[in-house]
Amino acid sequence: MLAVQVKPEEEVVPLISSKKLFVFECLGCREVHYPVEEAAQFLGNLKEEVTGRATLDYLCNREFARAYIDEYADEIEEAQAVLVFSCGVGAQVISSLLEDKLVYTGCDTLYLHGFQGLTAKEFDCDQCGECYLNYTGGICPVALCSKHILNGPCGGSQDGKCEVDPDMTCAWQDIIDRLARRGQLHLLERLGAPKNWSVEPAS
């Protein structure tokens, strides 16, 4: 099981400031606690124009999410960025489907004991409690990089493959490629504060 927590406004608002937004909100599968009131308050405080808003369950289902993207294609096209309120899996799925759009997450995902559900490996989330997707093009460095590096790459990849597991694509290569497509390579110059690993389940 997991819980979703809305990020502090001061962390997200500078990223989306002055941008027209489309908002995805995933109310979650039965296992997920989704903070309805906190998300409504966050959205109510936004000064940015919202071109549209889709509220659904199972944003983690890629085909399902794709159908919603098709349904709201005009509103998404009009928006300059997409803001996702969901667990880390849902945010990664939307980011992968909107490769050329700026996609941000408004949530952190926290681990709870119990059944974890099944997700596609390429969108895995370790429920680390401090979501990093806003700086990595919506690709998770915690779950998808063998060394869980937050300021990657490690320098060991060969032909885009991970040096620890050559069957895996190097997550940081994917991150760099996506940031380049979105004109966001400057994010690689950012050195974040040390991560609080104590809230990560494997810590």
Contacts with ligand SF4, residue ranges (CB under 6 A): 88, 108-109, 125-128, 131-133, 140, 142-143, 145-147, 149, 152-154, 156-157, 162-164, 170-172
Q: Which is nearer to ligand SF4, 52 or 88 (CB)?
A: 88
- Give the CA distances from residue 138 to residues 14, 93, 178, in Å, rounded to whole numbers and listed in that order: 17, 8, 9
C-beta neighbour count of 196 within 10 angstroms: 11
- Give the CA distances from residue 185 to residues 136, 146, 180, 189, in Å, rounded to whole numbers and listed in that order: 9, 22, 5, 8
Q: Rounded distance, CA 169 to CA 43, Å?
A: 36
Task: State which residue has the least CB distance to ligand SF4.
Answer: 88
Q: Which is nearer to ligand SF4, 106 or 153 (CB)?
A: 153
Does a cis peptide bond (omega within 30 degrees of 0) precede residue 194?
Answer: no
In whole angstroms, how close is the CB of 75 to ligand SF4 at the nearest point?
A: 25
Q: Which is nearer to ligand SF4, 75 or 126 (CB)?
A: 126
Q: Which is nearer to ligand SF4, 50 or 150 (CB)?
A: 150
Residue 155 exposed, middle or buried by CB count within 10 Å (0-12, 13-18, 19+): exposed
In whole angstroms, how close is the CB of 29 to ligand SF4 at the nearest point?
A: 16
In whole angstroms, how close is the CB of 77 to ligand SF4 at the nearest point?
A: 26
